[in-house]
A and B are shown apart, each in its own frame.
Chain A
């Protein structure tokens, strides 16, 4: 009885995990897509490094970042893309058209070196997931070769 209860507890407390190579391939794909999405968002951040006015918010461009979430059998999923609430860079130049009445203007809260580091990290993770996919494929191929 005790063992049965423990089994029930274990079954309901842990997420349903993948069992096969097909699941592994799905998970690898989700990892690749998630990293690709991260890279796209970083590219957007870098492209808007000097955007002083965002059409959506009316403020200087706010750095975006991807929030990822573990999704059991689906591997990883993109929960949402959020905007950073870090303070904007404040500079004094009354000559700039976007300057306020005190002569200050604001730059996006995107930090280029940071973005480059995150980009490199995403690239490495992208490669890692691609290599894992290649391995899954090779393992699958080995099992198919039994039919020959």
Chain B
């Protein structure tokens, strides 16, 4: 029997991470699947889509691994988890996992896109020019006022300014800024055409301005990270806009 294999793909356009599993998903593989899912969710895409169409399932019980919210909302915004499974097991998969089940990745992505259209979201493409950070801060001003989260305005302006500055410095392509209110966080995504990962330098070592910029992001954001996908990368950061209800 083939062992379980996995492939992780970041769709930067759709803001989803697709996990494609192949082989046998038995109970012994559950810890590994949980870890893969947890890592994907930790990068705060809008959704994680788990493709199980090429998986052999000795028992549907293994799918309960997708039921638990793998991350606490104290540190991360909620990330939707969607499954793709053959129609023969879709009902049982839904019952075991509590997750919506689709018959194709495209259908799942379409659902995520529809959800994204309805959420508090602000997207803008900025030219790769020194003026881009200032324009990005204007967007932050608009978004924070519209969403009544002015209390994180200063921090959000700084974080966005640093991320956009890095994108302009290193990528030389158009920069896409996306701001989303993902309660209880403000989620910032900055996409550029370079797949080189951002480098966080220590405070003392940062004679490098970009490294110091990311150091400030690390300081002011609740979380940050990056995703590399086709045609570039997304650097994201979250800022807490209100305390989590007990």
Q: Do A and B come from one complex?
A: no
